Structure 1
Amino acid sequence: MDALERYKKAWDNQPDETLKVSKLDIYRMAHSKSSSIVKWIFIIGILELLFWGGLNIFFAGSSYSDLYESLHLQKLVNATIYIHYFVIVLFLVGFYKNYKSISISENTKGLIKKILNTRRVVKYYVYFNLVYAILTNIIVVLLIFSDLDTLIDYYNTHGITVNQSKDQLLISLIISMVVVLTLLFFTMWLFYKLLYGSLLKKLNKNYEELIKINDEE
Structure 2
Amino acid sequence: MDLDKYKKAWENQPEETNKVSKIDIYKMAHSKSSSIVKWIFIIGILELIFWGGLNLIFVGSSYSQVYEELHLNALVKISIYLHYFVITLFLVLFYKNYKSISISDNTKKLINKILDTRKTVKYYVYFNLFYMVLANIVVMCFIFYDLDGLIQYYNNHGIVSSDINKNQLIVSLIIAMTVTLSFMFLILWLFYKIIYGRLLKKLYKNYKELIKLEEVN
Counterpart in the other structure of 1:100: 99
Aligned partners of 2:147, 2:83: CA distance in 1, in Å?
Answer: 28
The 5-angstrom pairing of residues 79-118 of structure 1 reads: 79-118=78-117
The 5-angstrom pairing of residues 87-166 of structure 1 reads: 87-162=86-161, 164-166=164-166
The 5-angstrom pairing of residues 1-217 of structure 1 reads: 3-162=2-161, 164-217=164-217
Q: What's the offset of the Cα at 1:128? A: 0.6
Unaligned 5+ runs, structure 1: none
Aligned partners of 1:159, 1:20: CA distance in 2, in Å?
Answer: 78
Residue type matched to 1:192 in 2?
Answer: Y
Residue type matched to 2:179 in 1?
Answer: V
Q: What's the offset of the Cα at 1:213? A: 0.5
Q: Secondary structure at the match of 2:160?
A: coil
Q: Secondary structure at the match of 1:58?
A: helix
Aligned partners of 2:157, 2:43: CA distance in 1, in Å?
Answer: 38
Q: Deviations over 1:112-170 (max 9, x none)?
A: 01101100111110111011111000110121122222111212222313474111111
Residue type matched to 1:28 in 2?
Answer: K
Residue type matched to 1:173 in 2?
Answer: L
Aligned partners of 2:215, 2:180: CA distance in 1, in Å?
Answer: 49
Root-mean-square deviation (Å)? 1.2
Aligned partners of 2:169, 2:59: CA distance in 1, in Å?
Answer: 27
Question: Identity across aligned pairs (percent)?
Answer: 68
Runs of 4+ in 1 over 6 A off after TM superposition: none
Aligned partners of 2:185, 2:213: CA distance in 1, in Å?
Answer: 40
Q: Deviations over 1:95-116 (max 9, x none)?
A: 0011011111111011001101
Q: What's the offset of the Cα at 1:8? A: 1.2
Aligned partners of 1:209, 1:120: CA distance in 2, in Å?
Answer: 19
Residue type matched to 1:174 in 2?
Answer: I
| Structure 1 range deviating more: 163-172 or 113-122 | 163-172
Unaligned 5+ runs, structure 2: none
Q: What's the offset of the Cα at 1:70? A: 1.5
Q: Secondary structure at the match of 1:97?
A: helix
Give aligned pairs, total: 216
Q: Secondary structure at the match of 2:185?
A: helix
Q: What's the offset of the Cα at 1:14? A: 1.3
The alignment's TM-score, normalised by the length of structure 2, stands at 0.96
The alignment's TM-score, normalised by the length of structure 1, stands at 0.96
